Amino acid sequence: MARSLRIGVIGGGIGGLAAARAMLMRGMEVVVFEQASGLIEFGGGLVLTPNALTALRALGLEERALADGFESTGQVVRSWRSGRVILRNSFERYRALFGATSATIHRGDMQKLLAAFVPESALRLASRCTEVESRPHAGVAHFADGSEFEADVVVGADGIHSAVRSSVFGPQNPHFTGLMCWRGLVDSRRLPGLVPPEQSAWWGPHGHVVHYYVRRGELLNWVAHIETDSWTEESWSTPGYAPELRATYKHWNHQLTRIFEVTEHCYKWALYDREPLREWSRGRVTLLGDSAHAMLPYLAQGAAQSIEDACVLAAVLADAPEEPEAALKRYEGLRLPRTSRIQLGARERGRINHLSSRWSRFRRDASIACRNWIGAKTGPQDLAWIYGYDAGNVPTGELAA
Ligand SMILES: Cc1cc2nc3c(=O)[nH]c(=O)nc-3n(C[C@H](O)[C@H](O)[C@H](O)COP(=O)(O)OP(=O)(O)OC[C@H]3O[C@@H](n4cnc5c(N)ncnc54)[C@H](O)[C@@H]3O)c2cc1C
């Protein structure tokens, strides 16, 4: 009987844990190395678009994610000051069109859910990878404590500031977008019945705000984006200053700003953009998730793409266990064109969300209304290529090795 593949995954975030789950389901031997000393519950909400839920279905986790997250009735986009509805989509329609709904979940809950399916023995905490190398028949990861780990394949799922990516492909040059975000979580009891159960967005000049429930409706997550030239730290954990937030959005609709008023703690981070990489794999080392394709959040695809990567990577490795290097190239060929297109699409969506002149906003809203009217018959076709993807059924054997 062929020996099972041994895989080292660097990073215990959503992408790394999803990869571990997908590989364990296919009988591979997996060890996940996470730099933090615990899988701490940190971060805000994540949107799971239909393609993310379809990928979770392939991992046997769709129902769990829906149970731990929140199922909104639909999506609504409103104008920043008047609250006029620009766009409304029902998730019933998503089920009919894409075979899955859209849900929202706390990042910590998603991470916990994935971690529950990775045995403790496969998880090494407090293990910071400093460097990786590809040897003729193995990938090797080196750690800050001086230890090393040799595997058939090493996967860099170590996020936006990936050490694996830097060590294999050199430093990347992200550029500051001129945008920053605040984010916060509010106990829903502080807003009794005041915020409808929809994934909501407010589009205004120079910025937009989104909010939705997570954790079965117990918490409301919000993220507020605004153009700025004064804040440039790309960190998920820097505390924000509430009076500054309230002053920035003081002219926005009161239905929205009351959410800020009842928020106790907020965080802020600057948004950086990166060009798509030309390759992800060298020999026995590859990248997955944000380390391969960190993207702006405007299409809500960061977590979704990392889960899709996980499903496809596990499938190609299972198809060609004797040829891991060819399998990694096949994975890259299947995934990189899609994630690059999404990275660029997210950049364009950010531009559309923040139009500053009244005339350009009027033209945008009128064109959306027109497309929506046609879409009553044809569906939200502009996102169908993203939402309709089934990561559990990608024809992995089609590319030449
Ligand atoms: C703390 C945090 C909070 C976040 N909050 C949000 C949020 O509120 N909303 C949102 O939409 N997205 C958030 N994200 C991003 C979102 O989770 C990712 O875009 C998406 O899930 C892709 O996941 P990933 O596994 O590729 O990367 P990540 O989720 O970033 O996971 C990478 C993991 O690798 C670990 N790691 C990094 N470097 C090393 C190293 N050298 N050695 C070992 N381990 C390493 C990190 O500690 C982390 O656990 C957050 C990410 C982080 C890390």
pLDDT tens per residue across span 337-394: 999 999 999 988 877 777 777 777 778 778 777 777 666 544 556 789 999 999 999 8
Closest CA to 59 of 23, 29, 31: 23
Ligand 1 atom showing the smallest separation from residue 15 Cα: 25
> Tokens for 227?
């153009």
What region, left, alpha or beta, does residue 226 occupy, with left being phi > 0 and alpha being psi -120 to 50 degrees? beta
- What does the chain come to in residues? 401
User: What is residue 269's predicted lDDT score, i.e. its pLDDT?
Assistant: 87
Contact between 207 and 227 under an 8 Å Cβ cutoff? The reply is: yes
Q: From start to end of 193-256, where are the E strands?
A: 199-204, 207-214, 219-227, 238-239
Q: Which residues line ligand 1 (CB under 6 A)?
A: 10-16, 33-36, 42-44, 46, 107, 128-129, 157-160, 163, 183, 236, 289-290, 297, 302-303, 306
Answer yes or no: 331 catalytic.
Answer: no
User: What is residue 190's predicted lDDT score, i.e. its pLDDT?
Assistant: 95
User: What is residue 377's predicted lDDT score, i.e. its pLDDT?
Assistant: 47
Q: Model-level pTM greater than 0.85?
A: yes
- Write down the catalytic residue from 94, 212, 213, 331: 212
Mean pLDDT in consecutive groups of 10 residues from the start of the chain, 401 residues: 86 97 97 91 90 98 98 93 90 93 97 95 97 95 98 97 95 85 94 93 92 97 89 71 88 95 90 92 97 93 98 96 95 97 89 75 78 60 90 75 40
Q: Per-residue pLDDT tens for 253-271?
A: 999 999 999 998 899 888 8
DSSP output for 81-115: TT--EEEEEEHHHHHHHHSS--EEEEHHHHHHHHH
Ligand 1 atom showing the smallest separation from residue 39 Cα: 49
